[in-house]
Amino acid sequence: MARVDMTETENGDVRNDRPRSRFRSLAQRLRHDPGIWRRGVLLAVCAVLLTLLMVFHAEIPNRVGNLGSLTETFLPWLGLFVPVLLVLALVRRSATALIALLLPALVWLNLFGGLLTDKSGTGGDLTVATHNVNAENPDPAGTARLLAASGADVVALEELAPHMVKVYEDALAGAYKYHDVQGTVGLWSKHPMRDTRPVDIRMGWTRAMRSTVTTPQGEVAVYVAHLPSVRVRMDAGFTANQRDDSADHLGEAIADEPLERVVLLGDLNGTMNDRSLKAVTSQMRSTQGAAGDGFGFSWPASFPMARIDQIMVKGVEPVTSWSLPRTGSDHLPVAARVQL
């Protein structure tokens, strides 16, 4: 008959001590296991290397295939190696590996732990949204209706195919009195717009614009940008040089903006961690990082892995940030509410 460990408490209740007995037995076996510190050295080394990769990601050179930017684009996903190494350390019964795993776990939490909490607030004066609608979107009218239903005061669209512009104009006309399209980007607003013009990001055609939106709380400079696409190729690595050059010119335009309150909406084809976007990210705040709930990944829509669709602000206080439901695009729309 199986032995059951039971203990009677002071008030007469009976407590099952079997889990405690098993823990004591396991602890005794481990204490008398001389190999517990010798096993798993390779796992410990992997944990240390993972830690160094996260701590010194900015030191990874971009000279060869833009490897540094590629690593920074998917930097949060390095945290997935921690539970994998944890399982292997438990299987190996290695105290050395388990202790070493504290290093990458703590570093990851220091880098991204703040994104795990809900920082969204209430209030705000202006709701903005941005969406790369995809030139091959099979349902542009449906996409436009979803964006209008979001309640956004200002909506930016990127990758507008010329033959689809009128579809979006017709679908958004009822909700937005003012709009302008420059090249393949457009801006729709419930508030008056003026001084709307293209922004030269050295693409050869227009993929960025700016406009002054006059809200009840005052004027705001709104920029819309779609930076060049990047690719990961076996023969060339992370092909992001054209994007990086365009980001520099976009950063210069924002730095020269005379208005104090600036909002940037668009598909930057890069994350806030990517050093190559520092011309922009060094002078603006991400609404997702400041007032979002989670990582807010926006691409690809089928299984989002990176936040490359950005809402960034300067001279404006983010209140809340969120993703909208999926449309016919390969990107998710993102929205934010800000305090002017």
pLDDT tens track for 229-267? 887 665 555 668 899 999 999 999 999 999 999 999 999
pLDDT tens digits along 199-225: 999 988 999 999 999 999 999 999 999
% of the chain at pLDDT higher than 90: 80
Contacts within 8 Å (CB) and 24+ apart, 60-68: 62/275, 62/276, 64/237, 65/236, 65/237, 65/238, 66/237, 66/238, 66/239, 66/240, 66/241, 66/276, 67/237, 67/238, 68/275
Contact 66, 276 (CB under 8 A): yes
Residue linked to tokens 């930057």: 268
Give the bridge partners for 211, in sequence order: 222
The dihedrals phi and psi of 206, each to the nearest 5 degrees, come to -80, 120
Rounded to an integer, the average pLDDT of 183-206 is 96
Q: How far is CA 63 from CA 60, 69, 71, 281, in A?
A: 9, 10, 13, 21
Determine the Cα–Cα distance for residues 15 and 2; give it in Å rounded to an integer.
17
pLDDT at residue 192, rounded to an integer? 98
Residue 12: predicted pLDDT:
55
pTM: 0.86
Distance (Å, rounded) from C-alpha 269 to C-alpha 309? 7
Which residues are within 8 A (CB) of 90 and not within 5 positions of it... i.e. 6 or more apart? 98
- Cβ neighbors of 319 (< 8 A, separation 6 or more) are 120, 121, 122, 123, 124, 291, 336, 337, 338, 339
Predicted confidence at residue 66, as pLDDT, reads: 83
Of 153-157, 241-245, 279-283, the range with the lowest mean pLDDT is 241-245
Q: How many residues are given for the chain?
A: 340
**Distance between CA atoms of 206 and 198, rounded to whole angstroms?**
7
Which amino acid is located at 73 in the chain? T
Pick 126-339's CATH classification: 3.60.10.10, 3.30.70.2740, 3.40.80.10, 3.40.47.10: 3.60.10.10
**Rounded Cα–Cα distance for residues 99 and 39 (Å):** 12
Report how far residue 250's alpha carbon sits from residue 223's, in angstroms, rounded to the nearest whole number: 9
> Could you tell me which of 131, 127, 236, 247 has the C-alpha nearest to residue 189?
127
Domain boundaries defined on the chain: 33-116, 126-339
